[in-house]
Amino acid sequence: MRGLGDHLSIGERIAFYRKRRGYTQEVLAGLVGRSTDWLAKIETSRRKPPRIDMLAELSRILRVPLGGLLGQTVLMEDERQQDDVPAVRDALMSPRRLSRLLFGPEAEVQLPTPAPVAVRVEQAWNDYQGGRLGTVIAALPALLQTAQELEERAARRGDDRSDCWAVSARTHHLAATTLEKIGESDISWLAAERAMRAADESDDPLVLASAARSGTHALLANGRYDDALELGNTAAAWLSSRVTENDPAACSLLGMIHLRAAVAAAANGVVWRSNFNAQEWKRALAAAGLIAEVEKGGRYESAREHGMHALRHFYASVLLDAGESIKAVSQYLGHSDPGLTLRVYAHLMPESQARACRAVDAAMRYGKEVLRE
């Protein structure tokens, strides 16, 4: 179990625990009722640390003791063990995982069947999608142990062998993705490797491609951008030959793999707008069935609404709709003048007048309460 020393600033501590909980700056800022720009400046010490009441609110949301944000050395796992990362590590690194031949079967163990385990795994995935990472971490040690027992079942009998391996792959995929979210990049790769090995045994193309996506996540988290790009491109090419137009799950997965490959290329500094637009973005759109596929060596149709600029507009509109300031959005988009951003996106701010009215009303109510006192 590791702890934080006192060499980090309060802002750096907030950033550390935010990333560990899997929150983006936008999400955490929204939870405390502040702007993303405010939080970014706090984390980089460009603003004074928050007041003690705000720190208390941050510690509640991040689920860490207040002393953890103020500089006291604290363990990462809380007393309720809702973030029992060491137990997840133990489950992944059990010596029994190394060799089935050396350790042999546990004859007295009643091995589970894949169907009920699959239900539990999907419940944990729902918790992950809902941001309940502590709940997922708490469930993972038992799920990983059960996945190992399913693999043992697959080795002993053949009637549900593929299902056993598929559920194991899905379980390890969940472990890899969750561990990467909370900053445990080293064991996230171990979990991703186990997911891909199990997926190989399942003989299911979608299970393997999904596990490969977890592999790209883990490689990105470990700074191995070339490897992540190679894995993403290889998995996309392999799956493309097995996808049919009437399989939306496969098309969606293929699109996600293309996007992970694009992230890897961007992180490695090899992306230019022109080649990303043609090689990654439009291939993802085609895989999702939004535009027509092209023959080998051909070119995608030229349409502004299908270009990367549409994604840029979507990004700006989401931020503005969430209440981000026009100045911050201007900075994110690389505009030299916030006035340009305002002119382009003013139509996306229909609630500004209503927000102003609410702000004035709140100030007036506060003034009346002060006068009464």
Q: Among 178, 198, 222, which residue terminates a domain?
A: 222
Residue-wise pLDDT for 202-217, tens only, equals 888 888 888 888 888 8
Based on the fold, state whether residues 72 and 183 are members of the same structural domain.
Answer: no
Based on the fold, state whether residues 86 and 32 are members of the same structural domain.
Answer: no
Q: Is residue 33 assigned to a domain?
A: yes
Based on the fold, state whether residues 70 and 176 are members of the same structural domain.
Answer: no
Based on the fold, state whether residues 117 and 44 are members of the same structural domain.
Answer: no
Threshold 0.85, pTM exceeds: no
Q: Is residue 273 assigned to a domain?
A: no
Tell me the two tokens of residue 148: 């190992």
Residue 153 is inside which H or E element, if any? helix 133-156
Position 280, amino acid: E
Q: Is residue 21 assigned to a domain?
A: yes
- Note the Cα 52 to chain centre separation in Å: 30
Mean pLDDT, the chain, integer: 77
Asked if the model's pLDDT at residue 273 lies above 60, the reply is no
Give me the DSSP letters along 22-90: T--HHHHHHHTT--HHHHHHHHTTSSPPPPHHHHHHHHHHHTS-HHHHHT---BSS-TT-TT-HHHHHH
Q: Among 222, 252, 284, which residue terminates a domain?
A: 222
Distance, CA of 152 to CA of 217 (rounded, Å): 27
Torsion of CA 216, 221, 223, 229, to 10 degrees: 20
Based on the fold, state whether residues 164 and 191 are members of the same structural domain.
Answer: yes
Based on the fold, state whether residues 60 and 168 are members of the same structural domain.
Answer: no
Based on the fold, state whether residues 218 and 84 are members of the same structural domain.
Answer: yes
Phi-psi group of 74: left, alpha or beta (phi > 0 → left; psi -120 to 50 → alpha; rest → beta): beta
Q: Is residue 287 assigned to a domain?
A: no
Based on the fold, state whether residues 61 and 141 are members of the same structural domain.
Answer: no
Residue-wise pLDDT for 6-48, tens only, equals 467 889 889 988 887 778 898 899 888 889 999 999 999 898 8
Range of the domain at 334: 326-372
Based on the fold, state whether residues 117 and 192 are members of the same structural domain.
Answer: yes
Read off the CATH number of the domain in which 44 is found: 1.10.260.40
CA atoms within 13 A of residue 199's CA, in its CB half-sphere: 23
Q: Is residue 148 assigned to a domain?
A: yes
Burial class (CB in 10 A: 0-12, 13-18, 19+), 302: exposed
Which range among 137-146, 216-225, 232-241, 336-345 has the greatest average pLDDT? Answer: 137-146
- Indicate the number of domains in the chain: 3
Q: Are 182 and 190 in contact (CB under 8 A)?
A: no
Based on the fold, state whether residues 176 and 58 are members of the same structural domain.
Answer: no
